[in-house]
Structure 1
């Protein structure tokens, strides 16, 4: 087979390498072309060198090109994969820093909440530019695979306004299933069957079978509470499991941001989170992790390049959906996964226009969703609260309506539990002014927002958050890795 895959945001070096090697684990895909594109020439050349080394080491005919001209990369592409982070770590830092001034403590801030909503405002205009290029220069009916957050908002915009065949992809379901298999004592992940459904980062394991035996709430609660690690790291998820009756896919820290109950007061935050790793609820945890990862990669690049000389091992193919979807579409080897698509009746008690994440099967005929799923009422209620925020956020990003943007932030569950309307209005003004370089649709609103900020009397505070850690130096990271290696 010979076709072209374009990867936008290919400067996400580690993730691009994973997608690349996954796809080349499919025997029929050796002769394809990868076209890499990114706004960073520096990152682009680093990842191209790594992928070229993989191709050379494995004696493959695979072609790899790299260009900062996105439209050129998309020409003739059958598949387009996006893993962009618009505004980079500079804008992302404001997604965490500014809401903290108003008492809003986020762990990740990339889905909803104040940070996730502004992230969507930056991403959506760029997503629509991608879609325009895909319609005009990519292969007819090219498929757009979106890995970028905020997943639901980006996918919603691409489908409703970009008019491109789009699927959103995430790995939260796989990670949650791995945890459940472990606590239940499964010898392999293949022993666990499940139906997981909801919206991205709020997906629920509504049916669990271990070797065909149905697993109920009480058994699952007992298994998690008995686990020496997860019982401490996933306290919030376990509490939600007890109250809702089903386990959520998302990590302790991530899930805490979508609910109005656990991060509303500093003392409550420290009660529910775990500081053994950023993902369990640390204030700004993912920002710290991303900063350290970037610094580590820049410093240790020669080692990453050397590691690229190893043969590709198909047994180490990851459970990221992209390679399996492409394999199913091109070879008709059926793949079952969980995909982000427009609802249209798939989940009976969520809005039809929502972007849902639910099981589907892929073959030559495309992605075929399993329809007629009904969520438990509490799960549906929680999802609907987020969907309403996502809908307003998408429409605000399209229209550049700052008042609608403020209403979207006001209706966010955690923001509403922490902040007053006056605080929300000022916070959004401050975020739009700070991120104006990445928000062209709000250019007309920035002068008035800046004027309001100069006269506003809403008080803020300089606060690092309830559980903040400093970014570790390269030397500290090296020492930590050495200690872990010695302990193992």
Structure 2
């Protein structure tokens, strides 16, 4: 087989390498072309050198090109994969820093909440630019695989306004299944069957079976509470399981941002989170992790390049969906996964226009969703609250309507639990002014927002959050890695 895959945001070096090696685990794909594109020439050259080394070490005919000219990379592509982060860590830092001034303490801030909504405002205009180029220069039946957050908003915009065949991909379901299999004593996730459905980052294991035996709420609660690690790291997630009756795919820290009950007071935050790793609820945890990862990669790049000389081990193919979807579409080897698509009746008690995440099967005929799923009422209620925020956020990003943007932020569950309308209005003004370079649709609104900020009397405070850790230096990271290696 010979076709072209374009990867936008290929400068996300570690993730691009994973996608690349996964795809090359499919024997029929050895003769394809990967076209890498990114706004960073520096990152492009680093990832190209790594991928070239992999191709050389495995004696493959695979072709790898790299260019900052996105349109050139998209020419003739059959598949386009996006893993972009518009505004980079600079804008992301403001997604965390500015809401903190108004009492909004986020762990991740990339899906909804104040940070996720502004992230969507930065991404959506760029996503629509991608879609325009895809329609004009890619293959006629091109498929767009979006890995970038905010997943639902990006996918919504690409389908509804970009008019491109798009599927959103995430790995939360797989990670949740791995946890469940472990606490139940399964040897692997192969022993676990499940239906997991909802919206991205609020997906619910509504049917669980271990070797064919149904697993109920009480058994699952007991298994998690008996686990020596998860009982400590996933306290909030276990509490939601007890109250809702089903387990959420999302991590302790991320889940806490979508519900208005666990992060609205500093003393409550510290009660429900765990500081052993960023993902369990630390203030700005993912920002710290991303900063450290970037610094680590830049310093340790020679070691990453050397590691690329090893043969591809097909047994270590990851559970990221992309390679499995491409394999199913091209070879007709059927794949079952969980995909982000427009609802259109798949989940009976969620809005039809929403982007849902639910089970589907892939073959030559495309992605075929399992329809007629009904969520437990509490799960549907929390999903609908987020969907309403996502819908307003997408419409605001398309129209450049700053008042609609403020209403979207006001209706966010956590923001609404913490902030007053006056605080929300000022916070959005501050975020739009700070991120104006990445928000062209709001250019007309920036002068007035800046003027309002100069006369506002809404009080803010400077604080690090309820549970903040400092970014570790390369030396600290290296020492920690050595200690873990010695202990293991």
TM-score (norm 2): 1.00
- Rounded to whole Å, the distance in 2 between the matches of 1:40 and 1:287 is 20
- Rounded to whole Å, the distance in 2 between the matches of 1:133 and 1:193 is 40
TM superposition shift of 1:28: 0.1
Name the SS of the counterpart of 2:111 in structure 1. coil
- Rounded to whole Å, the distance in 2 between the matches of 1:341 and 1:481 is 39
Name the SS of the counterpart of 1:194 in structure 2. strand
- Rounded to whole Å, the distance in 2 between the matches of 1:132 and 1:120 is 18
- Rounded to whole Å, the distance in 1 between the matches of 2:54 and 2:426 is 50
- Rounded to whole Å, the distance in 2 between the matches of 1:141 and 1:440 is 30
- Rounded to whole Å, the distance in 1 between the matches of 2:170 and 2:239 is 24
The yes-or-no answer on 1:423 pairing with 2:423 is yes
Residues 253-293 of structure 1, C-alpha deviations (whole Å, 9 max, x = no match): 00000000000000000000000000000000000000000
- Rounded to whole Å, the distance in 2 between the matches of 1:20 and 1:100 is 38
Name the SS of the counterpart of 2:345 in structure 1. coil
TM-score (norm 1): 1.00
Name the SS of the counterpart of 2:368 in structure 1. strand
> Is residue 78–residue 139 contact of structure 2 (8 Å, CA) maintained in 1?
yes
> Is residue 288–residue 471 contact of structure 2 (8 Å, CA) maintained in 1?
yes
- Rounded to whole Å, the distance in 2 between the matches of 1:134 and 1:369 is 24
TM superposition shift of 1:119: 0.1
TM superposition shift of 1:141: 1.4
TM superposition shift of 1:187: 1.2
TM superposition shift of 1:244: 0.1
TM superposition shift of 1:426: 0.0
- Rounded to whole Å, the distance in 2 between the matches of 1:236 and 1:350 is 24
Residues 206-236 of structure 1, C-alpha deviations (whole Å, 9 max, x = no match): 0000000000000000000000000000000
Name the SS of the counterpart of 1:340 in structure 2. strand
TM superposition shift of 1:12: 0.1
- Rounded to whole Å, the distance in 2 between the matches of 1:478 and 1:56 is 30
The corresponding residue for 1:223 is 223
Residues 30-52 of structure 1, C-alpha deviations (whole Å, 9 max, x = no match): 00000000000000000000000
Where does structure 2 lack aligned partners over 5 or more consecutive residues? none
- Rounded to whole Å, the distance in 2 between the matches of 1:381 and 1:231 is 26
Residues 19-74 of structure 1, C-alpha deviations (whole Å, 9 max, x = no match): 00000000000000000000000000000000000000000000000000000000
The yes-or-no answer on 1:59 pairing with 2:59 is yes
The corresponding residue for 1:323 is 323
The corresponding residue for 1:413 is 413
Residues 90-136 of structure 1, C-alpha deviations (whole Å, 9 max, x = no match): 00000000000000000000000000000000000000000000000
- Rounded to whole Å, the distance in 2 between the matches of 1:188 and 1:267 is 38
- Rounded to whole Å, the distance in 1 between the matches of 2:261 and 2:83 is 31
The corresponding residue for 2:364 is 364
The corresponding residue for 1:256 is 256
- Rounded to whole Å, the distance in 2 between the matches of 1:190 and 1:476 is 38
> Is residue 346–residue 373 contact of structure 2 (8 Å, CA) maintained in 1?
yes
TM superposition shift of 1:13: 0.1
Residues 141-162 of structure 1, C-alpha deviations (whole Å, 9 max, x = no match): 1000000000000000000000
TM superposition shift of 1:189: 1.2
TM superposition shift of 1:16: 0.0
TM superposition shift of 1:77: 0.1
TM superposition shift of 1:298: 0.1
Name the SS of the counterpart of 2:194 in structure 1. strand
- Rounded to whole Å, the distance in 2 between the matches of 1:413 and 1:463 is 22
- Rounded to whole Å, the distance in 1 between the matches of 2:22 and 2:141 is 23
Residues 352-405 of structure 1, C-alpha deviations (whole Å, 9 max, x = no match): 000000000000000000000000000000000000000000000000000000
TM superposition shift of 1:308: 0.1
- Rounded to whole Å, the distance in 1 between the matches of 2:76 and 2:337 is 27
- Rounded to whole Å, the distance in 2 between the matches of 1:189 and 1:176 is 10
> Is residue 392–residue 405 contact of structure 2 (8 Å, CA) maintained in 1?
yes
Name the SS of the counterpart of 2:356 in structure 1. strand
Q: Give matches, 1:317-356, under 5 Å.
A: 317-356=317-356
- Rounded to whole Å, the distance in 2 between the matches of 1:134 and 1:142 is 8
The corresponding residue for 1:275 is 275
**Runs of at least 4 residues off by over 2 Å:** none
TM superposition shift of 1:2: 0.1
TM superposition shift of 1:479: 0.3
Name the SS of the counterpart of 1:298 in structure 2. helix
The corresponding residue for 1:181 is 181
> Is residue 110–residue 117 contact of structure 2 (8 Å, CA) maintained in 1?
yes
Name the SS of the counterpart of 1:274 in structure 2. coil
How many residue pairs match? The answer is 488
Name the SS of the counterpart of 2:185 in structure 1. coil
TM superposition shift of 1:302: 0.1
Where does structure 1 lack aligned partners over 5 or more consecutive residues? none
TM superposition shift of 1:237: 0.2
Q: Give matches, 1:147-296, under 5 Å.
A: 147-296=147-296
TM superposition shift of 1:486: 0.4
> Is residue 178–residue 188 contact of structure 2 (8 Å, CA) maintained in 1?
no
- Rounded to whole Å, the distance in 1 between the matches of 2:16 and 2:241 is 34
Name the SS of the counterpart of 1:144 in structure 2. strand
- Rounded to whole Å, the distance in 2 between the matches of 1:294 and 1:208 is 38
TM superposition shift of 1:188: 1.6
- Rounded to whole Å, the distance in 1 between the matches of 2:188 and 2:379 is 28
- Rounded to whole Å, the distance in 2 between the matches of 1:101 and 1:321 is 38
